[in-house]
Chain A
Amino acid sequence: GAVVSQHPSRVICKSGTSVKIECRSLDFQATTMFWYRQFPKQSLMLMATSNEGSKATYEQGVEKDKFLINHASLTLSTLTVTSAHPEDSSFYICSAKMVNTEAFFGQGTRLTVV
């Protein structure tokens, strides 16, 4: 299957700082990328959908000013958690797809805010 890479895999940051997570499709051009969040012992929750070159569509209850998503190219999307707080600590996962294909997932990023 296609390869999606996330970086970093783990990050610890201080409360009040911002953290950027990268999601890259390594061997295909992703027309659409998705960002999910997963708390311990819970399922994945979709945060937003982004299409290359356009603004992301956020799910209800997700603050777009706190979780900034940029999808500037067909192989890269970034999620920036602004002014992070301990309650933002979670496992963040991206997925990417081409038109008419299934979605492929990155390995996830474990964010810990201290």
Chain B
Amino acid sequence: SQKIEQNSEALNIQEGKTATLTCNYTNYSPAYLQWYRQDPGRGPVFLLLIRENEKEKRKERLKVTFDTTLKQSLFHITASQPADSATYLCALISSSARQLTFGSGTQLTVLP
């Protein structure tokens, strides 16, 4: 069955450092991979999309990589700030469907 794993439930880092979150998947061939941010009591908010034929995508302090051979995506936040503290979700989309298949998320805490 399809499985999406995100690294450790919680990640604590010091302000100013780079946070790296991982998303591994099995039994899936996604055409797209998205990363969302979710704050407590709120719905997920879209951050970045990367296609299967793309290796890397950047947006301001965010960077996403996508390795379809390793079946892994890495999500980086550089120069992290306490305001970046949230749960980050990766989501896969196949070429034949529109719905998102989410991982369980990683809770990031950036310590001042």
A and B are interacting partners:
no
Q: Which residues of A contact B (CB under 8 A)?
A: none
Chain B residues near A (Cβ < 8 Å): none
